[in-house]
Amino acid sequence: MSLFSVGFQTLLYKETLRFWKVATQTIAAPVLTSLLYLLIFGHVLEKHVQVYPGLSYTAFLVPGLVMMSVLQNAFANSASSLVQSKITGNLVFILLPPLSHIEIFSAYVLASVLRGLVVGLGVFITTVWFTHIDFVAPIWIVVFGVLGAAILGTAGVIAGVWADKFDQMAAFQNFLIVPATFLSGVFYSIHSLPPMWLAISHANPFFYMIDGFRYGFFGQSDVNPWLSLVIVSGFLVVLAALALTLLKRGYKLRH
Amino acid sequence: MIAIEISEVSKRYQSLQALDAVSLNIEQGEFFGLLGPNGAGKTTLISIIAGLVRADTGTVRIHGHEVGKDYRLARKNLGVVPQELVFDPFFTVRETLRLQSGYFGLAKNDAWIDEILSNLGLDNKADVNMRALSGGMKRRVLVAQALVHKPPVIVLDEPTAGVDVELRQTLWKFISRLNREGHTIVLTTHYLEEAQALCQRVAMLKNGKVVKQDTMAGLIKHISGSQLVLRLKQGSLPASLHHLLIKQDIKQDIKQDTAHGNAPTNDHAHELAPGAKFSLRVNDYAEVEPILNSIRTAGGLIDEMQLQQADLEDVFLQVMDGSLPA
């Protein structure tokens, strides 16, 4: 089995083509949403909040919004594709061919990473005009961007395999993914939180993704980026192992 | 060589025993029919062959490759046309077929895709989105998807359910050609005349068990002779002929029941009334005149008469109601 087999490449191409064909919904809409967040929060809080010395609130906000878009769209890609295919029944076209669970997993997650990064890039390009942004350590930006998208793409695979209905997937997204993203320091530094919420935030893996990502821009973060890298990588390994196990066993796919 | 080897396969869904120790061997190059009423276990069996459902016990091999442990080679050798009319609304017909080729490891497959499109009458729909196709056209694409990798074994799960005559003819012409070229075909259908015309061998399932398995010729031979179908204008069937009675005025009902997947019954067999149409078994044409004579002697007046050869439907009905021994 080769990860670069024609089967894997085709499934990756199909998953990429799927979101590209409806780019207005899958790319343009989340970019516009993030732009609105920046305009509203930036306008309201710009003169009242300074998270790091010498850094405007709008500049602080941009990397957080970019990463939030990357994460949410990476999740939506694999989750919605799988659930739609299960409900409409066309998942059978993936299950009948000789594709391994590793090929299926890799194709869905990589397509999610691509969508996440495309949306993230779109958010960055449209928001960067409103403030000055540095790139202190670009490698960290790429590493945390890709790892974060991979984690959420993997979570999307798990949700897509588990959910039998759209509302189950929506519950997974609205009660787990969205709160975890919003409470991870997109709009604030967690050091501004009371001790209890600070502790809770440290248990949120999304916090480390966004904090490490933001370090790449400003060279400042709430925790050491190496610690974030270890935690984020470990989280990806755990989720990937779970997703691969579900796919290999055919959980809710092969009855 | 055995194309599909099914050995002691069982599957239970909670309280329902969907398959009960089913064993079947389908030879390479055969046109094989899998028949049975709804709920008999046909689709479950096909799903296990395709790897979509996992058997509780037993094994299935495609060209010697076990569908679980050796799934890659097993699936490469198999093309399945699912019963449900499913499609991916994001893609055109050609994109759908290219993607399906790719899943089977075929990066460049356009020549064969064009041939399939042509043979299934889809040439002018190649660049049309799947959503824009009629039900019959979507069914053709499903067939095309199963054939993109030129599988030596092709399974068609009720491929002509609810489709027009033109598609049936186009489909069977193409599938028969593939069969002549050496492909093994497994067909499930409720259209028994199709099965009789196409299949060389048939297995009948009932309540998850194979209740009959034979060549088509062997099955038809089980019902020796013909049926004498009569309608009386007056009088009724003499008691001396009751033992020859196959059915009365219910053939149409039975056909409808069969079409809906229900096992037929003989509940009406002895409700003989004047004006009713009934069928009598005759083993030899020489028996016809004595039968007619008995009816006339008893005061009956014949209004309508037909002599019909036994067909697969007669065998099917008798197997399902248990009157034909397994």
Tell me what ipTM this predicted complex has: 0.87
What is the pLDDT at residue A150? 97
Q: Which pLDDT tens digit goes with each residue over B248-262? A: 664 444 344 444 444
Asked if A153 and A177 touch (Cβ cutoff 8 Å), the reply is no
Instruction: Report the predicted TM-score, pTM, of the whole model to 2 decimal places.
Output: 0.83
Q: What are the structure tokens assigned to B27, written together?
A: 């030879």
Q: What are the structure tokens assigned to A213, written together?
A: 């990502």
Q: What are the structure tokens assigned to A243, written together?
A: 């997703």
In a domain, A1, yes or no: no
Note whether B52 contacts A88, CB cutoff 8 Å: no
**Can you name the CATH fold of B2-220?**
Rossmann fold (3.40.50)
Closest residue on chain A to B151 (Cα) = A97
Q: What is the spatial distance between Cα B208 and Cα B220, in angstroms, rounded to a whole number?
A: 23
Residue B63 contacts A, CB cutoff 8 Å: no
As for how many domains chain A has, the answer is 1
What is the pLDDT at residue B299? 83
Closest residue on chain B to A8 (Cα) = B103
Mean pLDDT confidence for A213-236 = 92
Residue B68 contacts A, CB cutoff 8 Å: no
A97, A250, A254: residue with CB nearest B103: A97
Mean pLDDT confidence for A112-140 = 90
Query: CA of A20 to nearest chain B CA: how many angstroms apart?
Result: 10
Residue B292 contacts A, CB cutoff 8 Å: no
- State the residue range of the domain holding A144: 6-249
Beta strands in chain B, from DSSP E residues, in sequence order: 2-13, 16-27, 31-35, 57-62, 65-66, 78-81, 153-157, 184-188, 201-206, 209-215, 226-234, 245-248, 277-282, 301-309
Q: Which pLDDT tens digit goes with each residue over A154-191? A: 999 999 999 998 899 889 888 988 888 888 877 777 77
3-state secondary structure of B131: helix
Mean predicted lDDT score pLDDT of chain B? 84
Q: What is the spatial distance between Cα A186 and Cα A206, in angstroms, rounded to a whole number?
A: 10
3-state secondary structure of B297: helix
Whether residue B270 is predicted with pLDDT greater than 60 in this model: the reply is no
Pick the closest to residue A58 from A142, A128, A145, A141 (CA basis): A128
In a domain, A254, yes or no: no
Note whether B52 contacts A254, CB cutoff 8 Å: yes
Mean pLDDT confidence for B278-284 = 80
Q: What are the structure tokens assigned to A135, written together?
A: 């790139």
Residue B151 contacts A, CB cutoff 8 Å: no
CB contacts < 8 A, A to B, total 85
Boundaries of every domain in chain B: 2-220, 224-309
In a domain, A255, yes or no: no
**Burial readout A135-164 (b: 16 or more C-beta within 10 A, e: otherwise):** eebeebbebbbebbbbbbbbbbbbbbbbbe
Mean pLDDT confidence for B117-142 = 90
Asked if B209 and B202 touch (Cβ cutoff 8 Å), the reply is no
Mean pLDDT confidence for B140-148 = 93
Closest residue on chain B to A20 (Cα) = B90
Mean pLDDT confidence for B318-326 = 70
Q: What is the spatial distance between Cα A156 and Cα A104, in angstroms, rounded to a whole number?
A: 13
Query: CA of B19 to nearest chain A CA: how many angstroms apart?
Result: 14
* pLDDT-derived band at B295, boundaries 50, 70, 90: confident
What is the pLDDT at residue A123? 92
In a domain, A242, yes or no: yes
B86, B102, B105: residue with CB nearest A89: B86
Note whether B71 contacts A98, CB cutoff 8 Å: yes
In a domain, A238, yes or no: yes
What is the pLDDT at residue B5? 95
* pLDDT-derived band at B273, boundaries 50, 70, 90: low
B52, B99, B102: residue with CB nearest A92: B52
* pLDDT-derived band at A43, boundaries 50, 70, 90: confident
Asked if B215 and B26 touch (Cβ cutoff 8 Å), the reply is no
